[in-house]
Chain A
């Protein structure tokens, strides 16, 4: 009986291994999740995954890019890229008024962003590997970051922490590394494509933990 079971498990694992790896981009709003995902998609498919903006919560629904074949040092892997809306515990439409967004538009944006957070949380279970993108110029000890990273660890989903915006003067990579000593933390600048080799290397390493 156990022989039959292991035979079918073997068959299923063959099919499973052929599936694209679901690579999720999580993190707080405006950390550069879409910028980083765009950079990768553009490098390997020639197309971007979504629009970026200085206004927080530009991504308000989950965005996908299928069949992204990433090659690094002779190795190739196919990913399904999943870019998620930034997770926050509150969204106030007045925050958008500072960016000269009209009141009605700001209210609509806040409502959509709120739905986006709920959608992001629902998707947590479906990821194979997650890149948590943090803004290296901000305080990393944000409870949302800690809760999301802890949650992924509890679900045994491999996590890579990216401290983005290291091109900025205020960026503090060491502070992010000190906040999450149990995880791989790499610094990148999605805007200028800095340190992406290290990113790809870390992602390939991480997929071995699936």
Chain B
């Protein structure tokens, strides 16, 4: 019997500035992000979630596998400073984080696993591999 291969019908890349989630609580942030992911979009978020929110995102999305149609989990990657900035750089980052509420110098990529096969990351670049 010939194996049926599901093809991806299409996807969009959605860019979200940090200002869209800055004033939301964790619940609201999760909902906003998941709405985008469930719509078969790859989300590029300016900045990053808090670490507990990143962990929650992993847990929440795993809990949704099997409950949301065609959802198989996510691929996630964050590019941010490597923590080796000089003192001035660290102060600048801390001030920005305090003022704006998150590491807005970072970029977070989140994609549904049905579209994004793998995100390979090394300190200087991110490679996005898509499913055929």
Instruction: Point out residues on A near B: beta carbons under 8 Å.
Output: 87-92, 111, 114, 117-118, 121-122, 124, 139, 141-144, 146-148, 150-151, 154, 179, 181-182
Residue B123 CB within 8 A of the other chain: yes
The 8 closest A-B pairs by CB, nearest first: A90-B73, A90-B113, A121-B59, A147-B54, A150-B51, A141-B121, A117-B62, A151-B51
A117 to B113, CA, bound (A): 16
A92 to B70, CA, bound (A): 12
| Structural contact, B52 and A154, CB atoms closer than 8 A | yes
* A87: chain B residues within 8 A (beta carbon): 58
Take A114-B66, A143-B78, A143-B121 as given contacts and tell me if A89 and B61 are in contact as well, using a CB distance cutoff of 8 Å: yes
Interface residues of B in 61-116 (CB under 8 A from A): 61-63, 65-66, 72-78, 83-84, 113
Total inter-chain residue pairs, C-beta < 8 Å: 72
| Structural contact, B113 and A89, CB atoms closer than 8 A | yes
| Structural contact, B72 and A89, CB atoms closer than 8 A | no
A114 to B121, CA, bound (A): 23
Residue B122 CB within 8 A of the other chain: yes
* B65: chain A residues within 8 A (beta carbon): 90-91, 114
Take A139-B121, A142-B121 as given contacts and tell me if A90 and B75 are in contact as well, using a CB distance cutoff of 8 Å: yes
* B119: chain A residues within 8 A (beta carbon): 143
Determine which of B73, B77, B84 lies in contact with A91 in the assembled complex, contact meaning CB atoms within 8 Å.
Answer: B73
Take A89-B113, A143-B119 as given contacts and tell me if A151 and B55 are in contact as well, using a CB distance cutoff of 8 Å: yes
Residue B120 CB within 8 A of the other chain: yes
A124 to B84, CA, bound (A): 27
Q: How large is the interface on B (under 10, 10 to 19, 20 to 34, 35 or more residues)?
A: 20 to 34
A-B contact pairs, 23 of them (CB 8 A): A89-B62, A89-B73, A89-B76, A90-B73, A91-B62, A91-B65, A114-B63, A117-B58, A117-B59, A121-B55, A139-B120, A139-B121, A142-B121, A143-B76, A143-B77, A147-B76, A148-B55, A150-B51, A151-B51, A151-B52, A151-B55, A154-B51, A154-B52
Instruction: Point out residues on B near A: beta carbons under 8 Å.
Output: 51-52, 54-55, 58-59, 61-63, 65-66, 72-78, 83-84, 113, 119-123
A174 to chain B, nearest CB (A): 14
| Structural contact, B72 and A118, CB atoms closer than 8 A | no
| Structural contact, B73 and A147, CB atoms closer than 8 A | no
* B75: chain A residues within 8 A (beta carbon): 89-90
A90 to B76, CA, bound (A): 10
